[in-house]
Chains A and B, each alone.
Chain A
Amino acid sequence: MREVHITTPLSDDTVERLIAGDRVYITGTIYTARDAAHERMMELIEKGEPLPFDVKGQVIYYAGPTPPRPGRVIGSVGPTTSGRMDSYTPTMLDMGLKGMVGKGERSKGVIESMVKNRAVYMVAVGGAGAKIARCVKRSSIIAFKDLGPEAVYMLEVENFPAIVAIDCYGNNQYEMGIKQYGRLTK
């Protein structure tokens, strides 16, 4: 198992180095956005208005944190199911998004768009919200505050632990894992 440290924003070089199955530690700025935030960003795109942040080279983290206790930077902040964002993702990738962090499989359309746009899909360990919160050094809501946990947060992270699930060549750890460890014949 390879361990790779990366810094955001992601360059093509960095993305091309990442291979499905790698353990990754992310340092830099990432942005949370989940269902309702994606829907609103699509509305902005349709109207030709700017997004809350320039997605070029950036990493979106599919997450909706718990409220922070007083004195804390953020509450628990583990990944949510990425598949729910599949219908929005190719548009974001076409706009220059380079990385996504979530959990679970992606659709064929997303994977094709990732290969075309040279982007990487990473997963964080689902449920590990308390541990991941320790990697968040700063956090602020930059858009859609009214959406509560679904608002867009800008997070400064240090050594955020993730795993490359699908790389920019289309290698898919979900499929490779089952192939390697599956024992059922039917």
Chain B
Amino acid sequence: MISAEEITDAVAGLCMEANSKLPEDVMEALKKSLDVEESELGKSILQEIIENDNIAYCEGVPMCQDTGMATVFVELGQDATIVGGSLTDAINRGVSKGYREGYLRKSVDRKPLFERVNTGDNTPAIIHVDVVPGDKLRIVVAPKGAGSENMCALRMLKPADGVDGVKRFILDTVRNAGGNPCPPIIVGVGIGGNFEKVALMAKKALLRSIGSRNSDSRYAALEEELLKMINDTGIGPQGLGGRVTALDVHIEYMPTHIASLPVACAIQCHAARHGEVILG
């Protein structure tokens, strides 16, 4: 049995922790990128990023002022029992608590078009629930700022566009983004499914650890090729020129309709924040 209160506390903790502590694989990738960067300006930017992330970790303060919308990925074991309230409410209460107690910026407006008024507690969170075997509850909190989120894109390609069409779309999206999403970026690519599913795949691909490859060798090769192409654009750290534009490219795919080739490109800034907990 998992109590709603336990979920709330876990989510609150993850919101605070994720915003001040980068996952180790991201930190390592940033450090390694210093050896690759040829631009003196680019190198100094990478150093500043690493220094900033160390300060955030040591002082327990947010590494970036854009503490984002809290995206919460949940894997709910089908045999798990949640008591004392609804899962959605428990998560949102956790986000509210975490953003208040962690002195994180509240960046959510109640309405998108007219009367854009801040909700004041960073809710609602964006919640995705997958039901899986078992009786555990796995929660991943991934705060993501709008600088990189605004640069994400989705295209419904034709099957005839093929792999070249996919490459062109990803490269166009990255070039169009330029310095806005705070490179070096991580690129999540979803291929297949349908309109809504492909975006979710691309987003989830961002959670994979840096350096991991798709288990299918053809997709793994495409990840490597896209990474090289993106780094050959010359966009560089913060878009001011250099060799390190992306730290990695992760592709996820699934079956699609005979008439479709959906592709989504999720762009993640260098502050690739996420933290997870398993309850039950």
| Chains A and B are bound partners | yes
Interface residues of A, Cβ cutoff 8 Å to B: 1, 21, 23, 36, 63-69, 75-78, 80-81, 83, 103-105, 123, 125-134, 148-149, 161, 163, 165, 173-174, 176-184
With A1-B41, A163-B41 already in contact, the answer to whether A125 and B61 are too (CB < 8 A) is: no
Offer 27 A-B interface pairs, CB within 8 angstroms, sorted by A.
Answer: A1-B41, A65-B105, A66-B65, A69-B103, A75-B61, A75-B103, A75-B105, A76-B62, A77-B65, A80-B65, A81-B180, A104-B180, A126-B238, A129-B56, A130-B52, A130-B61, A163-B45, A163-B238, A173-B41, A174-B179, A177-B39, A177-B241, A181-B39, A181-B236, A183-B234, A184-B171, A184-B234
The size of the chain B interface, using a CB distance under 8 A, is 53
Sorted nearest first, the 10 A-B pairs with minimum C-beta distance are A177-B241, A182-B234, A126-B182, A181-B234, A104-B180, A131-B52, A128-B52, A129-B65, A130-B56, A183-B232
Query: Which residues does chain A contribute within 8 Å of B271, judged by CB atoms?
Result: 127
Cross-chain contact B38 with A130 (CB below 8 angstroms): no
What's the nearest-Cβ distance from chain A to residue B31, in Å? 16
Cross-chain contact B234 with A178 (CB below 8 angstroms): yes
Residue on A with the closest CB to B60?
Answer: A69
Residue on B with the closest CB to A74?
Answer: B65
Cross-chain contact A127 with B52 (CB below 8 angstroms): yes
* Contact of B180 (CB < 8 Å), options: A77, A103, A184: A103
Query: Which residues does chain A contribute within 8 Å of B202, judged by CB atoms?
Result: none
Cross-chain contact A178 with B103 (CB below 8 angstroms): no
Query: Which residues does chain A contribute within 8 Å of B44, judged by CB atoms?
Result: 1, 23
